[in-house]
Amino acid sequence: MKVPFSWLKEYVDIDISAEELQEKLFSCGFEVEELLYLGEGVDKVVVGRILSCDKHPDADRLTVCRVDCGSYGEKQIVTAATNVFAGAVVPVALDGSTVRHEGGVQKIKTGKLRGVTSEGMFCSGEELGINDDFYEGAEFNGILILDENTNTGCDIKPVVGIDDYIFDIAVTANRPDCQSVLGIAREVAAVLKKTADGKLPAFRTDYTAERTDVRIPVEVRDTKLCPLYVGSYVKDVRIGTSPRWLRRRLALCGMRSVNNVVDITNYVLLEVGQPMHAFDRKFLHGDKIVVRCAEEGEKITTLDEKEFSLHPDNLLICDGERPVALAGVMGGLNSEIKDDTTEVFFEAACFARDSVRKTSRALGQRSDSSARFEKGVYEIFPHMGMTRALHLMQQLGCGTPTTYTTIANCPDLSAYTIPSKTIDTTYEKIDALLGIEVPKEEVNGILRRLGFSVTEKGEAFSATVPLWREDIDGFPDLAEEVIRMYGYEHISPTFLKNATVTMGGLTPAQETELKFKRTLAGEGFMEACNYSFYSLKDYDLLRLPADAPERRTIAILNPISEDLGVMRTILLPSMLQNVVRNVRRGNESGRLFELANVYLAEELPLKELPEERKKAVLALWGEGDFFDLKGAVEAIGAAFGLKLAFARTEKPFLHPGVSAKVLLGEREVGFLGELHPEIAEELALEKKVYVAELDYDGMKKKFKGDISYHNLPKFPDVERDLAVVVDEKVTCGEMTECILRACKAVKGAELFDVYRDRRLGEGKKSMAFRLTFAADENAEKGLSPETVDGYFKKIVGSLNHTLGGELR
């Protein structure tokens, strides 16, 4: 919200600097995002009167002028401009001055032009940063010629209206009433205590109405979309140029002047916050207004000559025959104000904010008006805007207000009122919420300055809310009004002095999650964090078939981009992206993991909240191989007391020979393996990448809770090494299982060597295990060598029998 300092000063007697006002606004909830000084870069530029103009002795195009600069004395200025003449009053940039130049600042010094001294420079409007709306002739390509009555020697800034500030204010969503100069002025008056009752007497809406028989009735078909429509007829309109002060204010807020009537509607938008529209009455066929939804395919051409084909969601303002405006967005070309307009019908309405937003977005047509409606317009504003517009019409002499003002769907105007809200509460309630005691007089004074009318009733009071504050609906709102004006520095920190003592901390589930992460960190994995969405294309990258369950994914209706268009059902793709990014940046090796939710829909489109299932993904590249990754998975198993088993599996995205599923009992709880070489190639990954995904929520139920202690064995374990020659196809898993099954006394069988040699035979390998034998927990004595020999023989026999293994 852009607010000029000078405009505020019209309504509030501000006796502090712009910087001080910025602080004040900040303290009461209005952050000034930018404070712009319009005279920035223009320094030591003064008003001068040209006394004489002579040709330069050595240059045809240059003119040598003698200039009276008032108290700065007489100066000689050499100029190339052709519009200077003796007697002209012009801006003179003196020696050591600065002016605006091509978006920056230029320093001006005394110098010689073709041998003749020039003690400065004349300025154009552009060099002062102004256009015609600030000063007549400012856009002329040459020197700015000032009014001849301007005093010489004056600083140029006040003369051309740039000794001013623009406050760019962030207004919170609950304060649409402050999306206007008047709204901010009300706040400023309250915070500076320049009003006692919230009124700004300088803001005038009075006018004299002349009788008329003209009737332009307004019919609103959908009062939800248009809760209020105020119209007024103005006669004897004389289209012309707006006065300087008005044009300048529009320009300060970034608007161009069009003509007096259109300027008034824009001025009211900026000042009151009410979007207005002016129709030329002679183009309103049938002398009536109908507010209705568009028919499918109905067309309108807006003021900017764009044609739109409409949809029943779009609200239209129509005359007796055709659409004349796109409600709240822009007027129609067919009824615009022209130079020969003599009668005007003003519109000031409330349109539903989401209706305006939908239309504006759907058609890609935005305007100051639609932006304003989207923030919300309260019921009082159309009335305030309309009376202000009529006041200005009269004041500027560009038309005669009439007695015909109408409110749609309201047969009896005299009975029309806007209901006001009154809040009954106590000073104690306000204090109890704030935790401090604010003196009664302070509470009353603050609320009154903000326009509330306060009636004190002993310890209680009632506050009638000003009509422009529809956001206020209870005592906490009053408490907020009080404290933001009283000052937050009055809040003195206390530490829950009345609260009950409670127990705090993580839930067991959260502690487990943290332990899971720490376990993986202990294995050298770094925790990654990825977006919860990715691209549908990721499924193709993974070669997932069309009917793969992972493809049942929840789509975002309004994604940032297609690449972030669907919710994750598998964590692997984001992790692969991480690996690719790391490798591309020269990080030759690494280990990453992520523990995050995937989103699994029962039904699509969603009928209920989907399942959010926590999964873990691991990746390792550069250093290490399949068994390093498997070691990390096993570490998880060990940390949580899970008996994980591994079996060969095939996944479309894994190397068919180097991929396993992770089993917890019968249940598959994950996979691990080498990324399929084809995918690796597609991703330009030269080194092998190993990945795993674990179903954290699937394993969670089996996580061992508390540690339970096992008695130490009474007798030491006995170790024996066993090397067996088997066929290449026999797996370690099969052998281990066979050994453990053959003998109960074997506590562990750990593979420590695999050996291949021609002498062992074609297609054979030797597998060496370290066997650990333990005596039964209740045994009286330890294992004798003879007993162990017996076990050993039994194992060898079983290996031979089951897997064809030969003792080496």
Partner 1 sequence: MDENDKIVEEAEAAASQAEDSKSLYEAKLQFLGREGKVTALMKRMKEIAQELRPAFGKQVNALRAKLEALFSEHETRMKELELQKKLSAEQVDVTMPGRRHRAGTLHPVTRVKNELIDIFAGMGFEVFEGPEIENDYYNFTALNTPADHPARDMQDTFYLTDEFLLRTQTSAGQIRLMEKKKPPIKMLSPGRVFRSDDDATHSPMFHQMEGLVVDRGITLCDLQGMLDKFAKSMFSETSKTRLRPSYFPFTEPSVEVDVSCHACGGKGCSLCKGTGWIEVLGAGMVNRHVLENCGVDPDEYTGFAFGMGIERIAMLKYGINNIKLLTENDVRFLEQFKE
- By CB under 8 A, the residues from 455 to 494 that bind partner 1 are 474, 476-477, 479-480, 483-484, 488, 491-494
Stretch 684-713 residues interacting with partner 1 (CB under 8 A): none
Nearer to partner 1, 551 or 808 (CB): 551
Min dist CB 479 to partner 1, Å, is 6
Nearer to partner 1, 224 or 457 (CB): 224
Contact of 652 with 544, CB cutoff 8 Å:
yes
Min dist CB 352 to partner 1, Å, is 7
Exactly one of 609, 684, 707, 712 binds partner 1 (CB under 8 A); that residue is: 609
Stretch 408-447 residues interacting with partner 1 (CB under 8 A): 432-436
Stretch 166-205 residues interacting with partner 1 (CB under 8 A): 172-176
Min dist CB 269 to partner 1, Å, is 18
Stretch 500-539 residues interacting with partner 1 (CB under 8 A): 500-507, 510, 514, 517-518, 520-533
Min dist CB 241 to partner 1, Å, is 37
Exactly one of 278, 324, 392, 567 binds partner 1 (CB under 8 A); that residue is: 567
The mark string for 52-71 relative to partner 1 (x by CB under 8 A, - otherwise) is --------------------
| Beta partners for residue 768, in sequence order | 723, 753
H/E stretch holding 658: strand 654-664
DSSP codes joined into one string, 98-151? EEEETTEEEEE--EEETTEEE-EEE--HHHHT--TTTSTTTTSSSPPPBPTTSP
Nearer to partner 1, 117 or 172 (CB): 172
Min dist CB 377 to partner 1, Å, is 11
Min dist CB 651 to partner 1, Å, is 23
Nearer to partner 1, 40 or 588 (CB): 588
H/E stretch holding 379: none
Min dist CB 312 to partner 1, Å, is 18
Nearer to partner 1, 8 or 352 (CB): 352
Exactly one of 4, 125, 610, 673 binds partner 1 (CB under 8 A); that residue is: 610
- Rule CB under 8 A: is residue 603 a binding residue for partner 1? no
What are the structure tokens assigned to 543, written together?
A: 């070669």
Count Cα neighbours of 674 within 13 Å in the Cβ-side half-sphere: 18
Nearer to partner 1, 413 or 609 (CB): 609
Q: What is the CB neighbour count within 10 angstroms for residue 667?
A: 12
Q: How far is residue 168's CA from residue 156's CA, in Å, rounded to a whole number?
A: 24
What are the structure tokens assigned to 68, written together?
A: 């009276």
Nearer to partner 1, 97 or 359 (CB): 359
Min dist CB 22 to partner 1, Å, is 12
Stretch that binds partner 1, among 11-19, 201-209, 405-413, 575-583 (CB under 8 A): 575-583
H/E stretch holding 277: strand 276-280
Nearer to partner 1, 624 or 713 (CB): 624
Exactly one of 11, 427, 593, 626 binds partner 1 (CB under 8 A); that residue is: 593
Nearer to partner 1, 438 or 788 (CB): 438
What are the structure tokens assigned to 130, written together?
A: 């102004």
Q: Is 402 left (phi over 0), alpha (psi -120 to 50) or beta?
A: beta
Q: What is the CB neighbour count within 10 angstroms for residue 492?
A: 7
What are the structure tokens assigned to 807, written together?
A: 């003792």
Query: Cα dihedral sign for 380, 472, 32, 352?
Result: negative
Exactly one of 333, 564, 683, 768 binds partner 1 (CB under 8 A); that residue is: 564
Q: Are strands 533-534 and 566-567 parallel, antiparallel or unpaired?
A: antiparallel
Q: How many residues does the chain have?
A: 808
Exactly one of 308, 599, 640, 791 binds partner 1 (CB under 8 A); that residue is: 599
Amino acid at 222: D
Contact of 765 with 729, CB cutoff 8 Å:
no
HEC secondary structure over 677-745? HHHHHHCCCCCCEEEEEECHHHHHCCCCCCCCCCCCCCCCCEEEEEEEEEECCCCHHHHHHHHHHHCCC
Nearer to partner 1, 529 or 707 (CB): 529
Min dist CB 581 to partner 1, Å, is 6
The mark string for 297-336 relative to partner 1 (x by CB under 8 A, - otherwise) is ----------------------------------------
Min dist CB 432 to partner 1, Å, is 7
Amino acid at 104: G
Min dist CB 516 to partner 1, Å, is 11
Contact of 99 with 93, CB cutoff 8 Å:
yes
> Please, is 220 exposed, middle or buried when counting C-beta atoms within 10 Å of its C-beta (0-12, 13-18, 19+)?
buried
Min dist CB 552 to partner 1, Å, is 14
Q: Could you tell me how many residues of this chain bind partner 1 (CB under 8 A)? A: 88
Q: SS3 of 10, please?
A: helix
Min dist CB 427 to partner 1, Å, is 15
Nearer to partner 1, 280 or 481 (CB): 481
Q: How far is residue 68's CA from residue 147's CA, in Å, rounded to a whole number?
A: 15
Stretch that binds partner 1, among 238-246, 278-286, 389-397, 581-589 (CB under 8 A): 581-589
Min dist CB 362 to partner 1, Å, is 16
Contact of 289 with 319, CB cutoff 8 Å:
yes
Nearer to partner 1, 417 or 492 (CB): 492
Exactly one of 86, 460, 536, 556 binds partner 1 (CB under 8 A); that residue is: 556
Exactly one of 257, 578, 676, 726 binds partner 1 (CB under 8 A); that residue is: 578
Nearer to partner 1, 5 or 599 (CB): 599
Nearer to partner 1, 514 or 638 (CB): 514
Q: How far is residue 73's CA from residue 79's CA, in Å, rounded to a whole number?
A: 18
The mark string for 128-167 relative to partner 1 (x by CB under 8 A, - otherwise) is ----------------------------------------
Q: Is 735 left (phi over 0), alpha (psi -120 to 50) or beta?
A: alpha
HEC secondary structure over 589-646? CEEEEEEEEEEECCCCCCCCCCEEEEEEEEEEECCCCHHHHHHHHHHHHHHCCCCEEE
What are the structure tokens assigned to 613, written together?
A: 């299932």
Nearer to partner 1, 66 or 366 (CB): 366
Nearer to partner 1, 564 or 645 (CB): 564
Stretch 341-380 residues interacting with partner 1 (CB under 8 A): 352-354, 374-376
Min dist CB 17 to partner 1, Å, is 18
Please name the residue ranges forming H helices in 343-474.
353-363, 368-375, 380-395, 427-434, 440-449
Q: SS3 of 74, please?
A: strand
Cα separations (Å) of 555 from 199, 237, 264, 608, 613?
Answer: 53, 56, 48, 15, 17
Min dist CB 672 to partner 1, Å, is 17
Nearer to partner 1, 524 or 733 (CB): 524
Min dist CB 177 to partner 1, Å, is 12
Nearer to partner 1, 621 or 791 (CB): 621
Contact of 165 with 184, CB cutoff 8 Å:
no
Stretch 13-32 residues interacting with partner 1 (CB under 8 A): 26-29
